[in-house]
Structure 1
């Protein structure tokens, strides 16, 4: 079980430029009188539950180019997706946005909930596995007009082993080194099977889930694309493996995998292992000092799952 968690160094409400705070308050329609800053996730930006003078509550995300030059566009992508989601989907409603070209803030309805325990508890994991299955069904056909397409969005990700094979690092796992070319071919083959007509979240892990009574909510949608209905279930189980759970029992008789060749799932998981192995060795992006360690920790647990599924000696 890995001690590494999905967390970074976040801005606080108080540290935001005054113009950004004012822009958020314009969206809210009332001044913010209290803010509880949230941890979790890798964005260097703000994540806060806020209370307004009129008694209203909301959840606010904000980031600017001074923190990371790419993060504002990530918020813009999330705004496009969440604004297009139909009513009834378990995703907090986007109330409005603030964007001055450098800073982007998103204002959502607040969900009175909490993240699952980390590491995953079996009871909570089972509930969320079922909820993800229903989420994928509810997002088929894809409800977002002209979203990005899976094969394009995961193209570079599934070629991570090709990158490693071109210049193998000295610290590669011995099994991984022996099978590097096979892994590269296997992962690349996933590009033939990831397309579909489901809106895929693609970043499902414990810190992007909220539990509220019997309800499960899904947050942080910037990486969403149109793809195969089973991808999010596999992504969640990859996170379960990271926390020490055996993902295989959850895959047995899974309703979204009944007609999917198991080798296609193995290829996709291999692609994720290659991505973590290649990206985790790169320098840390600005404002995200913990990201690479988290990727390398995920590489280790995802690789172990790939090794088990392939059965290669």
Structure 2
């Protein structure tokens, strides 16, 4: 696939040295050692530090740190992750949150280090099967939701209005099928919140860059969007990115004919399509290209599911 259809899931990371010295000292004091190496991890979009730290005694930890500048929303997302990651039960295959620090202007999360790697891109069949099996096991383990969290519908009620907003916006360059069916897509999108109801805790942001593979386990990282909804939400949210990153068409991996799935997919697709048409948010120069590419894959899947001309 071209770079336009398969942009990397990475942004502009902040070097560890640019995290405020006082916050770096708090992290080192908690870990009880001197940091001798900080290796930036490139996956993900937030304008933050994401580093694997090695201490002078050989111990390791993974640390994320974000400031309120340049994107004030990012620090709120990190605060949400503190709440969710700290509450996840032991059985969830996620790195353990060891500590967090909040100075008001900066938030840092300290996790156990997982010596894993992201899936190879384009997707390999064996690794994709491992991840899909893990998603299925995760859904089973998190139904009913073991912690209190916002519902998926409540968390995305303002975001999942893409088709309805496009009714009143400039649609120049919009996909011809989407333009031809825009009224019907907006109507289908209206029912997404009821369709998403359920009692499962879902990650809600599954992509290859939020998965780590070790020899014997699949770890799921970055949980700030975790919420309560239908057990299939993670698959619906993940499969457009799988397709854009070289995987099979979503309908070959998930063929549930439930109209509720189609309604949620319609809302997700509208979100990707409309967001991909917006200016870059502060500090996130690569996220729109990724959303556009997800929108192309999601739209193909939605066209297949609706059967509309």
What range is the shorter-chain TM-score in?
over 0.9
The RMSD of aligned alpha carbons is: 1.3
Indicate which of 87, 104, 113 corresponds to 1:110: 113
Indicate which of 272, 295, 298 corresponds to 2:294: 298
Distance change >3 Å, CA 168–CA 309, structure 1 → 2: farther
Give 1:98's aligned residue: 101
| Matched position secondary structure for 1:70 | helix
Indicate which of 31, 35, 52 corresponds to 2:55: 52
Q: How does 1:224-263 map to 2 (within 5 A)?
A: 224-244=226-246, 245-252=248-255, 261-263=257-259
Q: CA deviation at 1:238?
A: 2.1
Give 2:193's aligned residue: 191
For the residues of structure 2 that align with 1:247 and 1:299, how far apart are their CA atoms? 13
Measured against aligned partners, the alpha-carbon deviations of 1:62-99 in whole angstroms (never above 9, x if no partner) come to 01012321111111100100100111210000000111
Q: CA deviation at 1:188?
A: 1.9
Measured against aligned partners, the alpha-carbon deviations of 1:224-272 in whole angstroms (never above 9, x if no partner) come to 11111110122222221222421222214xxxx5xxx522212211111
- Please identify runs of 4+ aligned residues in structure 1 that moved more than 3 A: none
Q: CA deviation at 1:55?
A: 2.3
CA contact (8 A) 1:27 1:97 kept: no
Give 1:30's aligned residue: 33
Q: CA deviation at 1:157?
A: 2.9
Indicate which of 283, 289, 308 corresponds to 1:287: 283
Q: How does 1:125-274 map to 2 (within 5 A)?
A: 125-145=128-148, 147-244=149-246, 245-252=248-255, 261-274=257-270
| Matched position secondary structure for 2:260 | helix
- Between stretches 202-211 and 50-59, larger displacement belongs to 50-59
For the residues of structure 2 that align with 1:30 and 1:117, how far apart are their CA atoms? 33
2:77 maps to 1:74: yes
CA contact (8 A) 1:242 1:302 kept: no
| Matched position secondary structure for 2:8 | coil
- Between stretches 205-214 and 17-26, larger displacement belongs to 17-26
Q: CA deviation at 1:195?
A: 1.5
Which structure 2 segments of 5+ residues have no match? none
For the residues of structure 2 that align with 1:168 and 1:134, how far apart are their CA atoms? 43
Q: CA deviation at 1:56?
A: 1.5
Q: How does 1:8-23 map to 2 (within 5 A)?
A: 8-23=11-26
Indicate which of 88, 92, 108 corresponds to 1:85: 88
Aligned residue pairs, count: 305
CA contact (8 A) 1:209 1:218 kept: yes
TM-score (norm 1): 0.94
For the residues of structure 2 that align with 1:151 and 1:125, how far apart are their CA atoms? 28
| Matched position secondary structure for 1:79 | helix
CA contact (8 A) 1:92 1:110 kept: yes
